[in-house]
Amino acid sequence: MPGTLLFNRGCFAQVLEGPREAVERTFERIQRDPRHADVNALEFAPVGRRGFPSWSMAFVGRSAPGEALYGGIAGESGFDPALLTAERLFATLRELVLAEEAEAAPVA
Amino acid sequence: MFHDRLAAALERAGRDGSAVAVLCLDLDRFKPVNDTLGHPVGDTLLRTVAERLRSAVRATDLVARLGGDEFAVLQAGHEQPQGAQALAARLVDLVGRSYLIEGHLVNVGASVGVALAPGDGADPDRLLTCADLALYRAKDEGRGAFRLFEPEMDARMQARRALELDLRKALALRELELFYQPQLDLETGRVCGFEALLRWRHPERGLVPPAEFVPLAEEIGLIVKIGEWVLRTACREVAGWPDGIGVAVNVSPAQFKSPKLVDVVRGALEASGLPPSRLEVEITESVLLQDDAGNLATLHRLRDLGVRVAMDDFGTGYSSLGYLRSFPFDKIKIDRSFVRDLPGSADCLAIVRAIAGLGSRLDIATTAEGVETAEQMRRIRAEGCDQIQGYLVSRPVPPAEIPALIAETLAHAA
């Protein structure tokens, strides 16, 4: 399932995309994992099309654009997921992933 | 099935001297999920909960659904109580995590009660009872937690059960009585009405305070029948008192749930011959909080009978001003907690002033409760309240003393 992960200081954010049943199954697997604690679902809703075309992952804190974007989130919320809107998180993760993919792409 | 496996586990444990734990788990806030999202979602939730429970126990442990939203877990071969404590904490956390179910984000909680064999008992029924008692306590203490059984829980439950049995007989044995506390009109200085207050005189327990049995009566649904008796009795007794003397009767949210309330009030008025204008029903805002168009319609039907409606304990709950708009109340009763600290507390004085002002602008009478001193009365009158009730005027008295009390205050006022 495509998705993305943002990591910093032990806090993860993930967008799960896919058929509803698959999202529900994956979410349930995450919830049952004893290594996870305090999992908050910010939003659960149908979308018109995917925001993340392939499985992708972003580790924030490594790339310069990540720093800049993560810095933005941290400044606003102190990275308390409860204070983050799903929309903002989604947009940030998507920008990060696209930026990292562009960086990794071979130069023509 | 669970019972048989438990019996077998207890037998094995008895032979090798090991311990067995029984955990009873109950979902918090399951009913709203069922009610709002429908039974199919509720059923899927229960299945998912069962799967989460199974994922958290060892292969040798047993998970069973006891019915409704109650589950039991049998844990054998662990060091106890550490094993059960660790598992109970894990289950509370695990089951309390969010669910994504059939397109919905669902949140429930879990409470867990734990009983251990051989310490708490050696037979299956006894252990399940103990685990249930511990569960009951966990829920009572705010849910989302676990509790280990303690013998004291048993004693408390026995006492409660005895009280319940006695209370169920109280009506038939005519052990209930009404006392009446006068309300003084601050303008005329005369008693204008009484609040009817329930008393239970038990042959051995003596006079049981309402705080001890009314919540229980509400919990077991007996409050509806008791409430009917209160309405009929108050109307009958007050009908014999002088014209212009009214009576206020507390009506609980549970009575509002019963479709018969309006008929009961009409029946009490007709049987007693009391003019409807002399009856006032006192409700708390929880009646309006709980829903609903239904309760509001009931209030309007009571009003259509000619009965007055008062908002009790104002200032203690949500005190939403929206409630005052949602229904044209005849009276607001200012909670005693604001009166108690008068005249010393400037905050309380400000609150009394605000409510009295609100009442006079909305054309709703205000009654201050719990007035005990002449100085409190003076302040409350100065703030524009219409009536007072409290020990300053009189404590609640049995009906036999009412004629003398009325005569005395008439003489006072004159």
Closest partner residue to A23 among B55, B100, B104, by Cβ? Answer: B100
Residue B379 half-sphere exposure, CB side, CA atoms within 13 Å?
22
More confident residue, B122 or A53: B122
Has residue B335 got a pLDDT over 80?
yes
- Per-residue DSSP letter, A82: G
Closest partner residue to A41 among B48, B93, B105, by Cβ? Answer: B105
Q: What is the mean pLDDT of residues B66-76?
A: 93
Instruction: List, in sequence order, every residue forming a beta bridge with B75; answer none if it has no partner.
Output: B21
The pLDDT of residue B291: 61
Taking the whole predicted model, whether its pTM rises above 0.80 is answered as no
Instruction: Chain A: give the shortest CA distance to residue B104, in Å.
Output: 7
Tell me which of A83-87, B79-83, B405-409 is least confident.
Answer: A83-87
Q: B331-334 and B308-314 as β-strands: parallel, antiparallel, unpaired?
A: parallel
The pLDDT of residue A2: 59
Cross-chain Cβ contact B98/A31 below 8 Å: yes
The closest of B251, B241, B249, B250 to B191, measured between CA atoms, is B241
Identify all chain A residues contacting B105, using CB atoms and an 8 Å cutoff.
Answer: 41, 43-44
Cross-chain Cβ contact A44/B97 below 8 Å: no
Total of domains in chain A: 1
Is residue B70 classed exposed, middle or buried when 0-12, 13-18 and 19+ CB atoms within 10 A define those classes? middle
Total residues belonging to chain B: 414
Cross-chain Cβ contact A24/B100 below 8 Å: yes
B262-293 confidence digits (pLDDT tens): 999 999 999 999 999 999 999 988 888 766 67
- Number of A to B CB contacts under 8 A, please give it: 35
Give the nearest chain B residue to A26 (CA atoms).
B100
The pLDDT of residue A70: 54
Cross-chain Cβ contact B103/A44 below 8 Å: yes
Instruction: List, in sequence order, every residue forming a beta bridge with B309; answer none if it has no partner.
Output: B281
Has residue A51 got a pLDDT over 80?
no
Identify all chain B residues contacting A27, using CB atoms and an 8 Å cutoff.
Answer: 100
A57: containing domain: 3-104
Asked if A39 is an interface residue toward chain B (Cβ–Cβ < 8 A), one would say yes
Cα dihedral B27, B31, B33, B39 in deg (nearest 10): 110
Residue B350 half-sphere exposure, CB side, CA atoms within 13 Å?
3
A35-49 confidence digits (pLDDT tens): 888 888 888 989 888
The pLDDT of residue B124: 92
Cross-chain Cβ contact A37/B93 below 8 Å: yes
Interface of A with B in 8-27 (CB under 8 A): 20, 23-24, 27
Is residue A99 classed exposed, middle or buried when 0-12, 13-18 and 19+ CB atoms within 10 A define those classes? middle
Has residue A77 got a pLDDT over 50?
no
The pLDDT of residue A108: 44
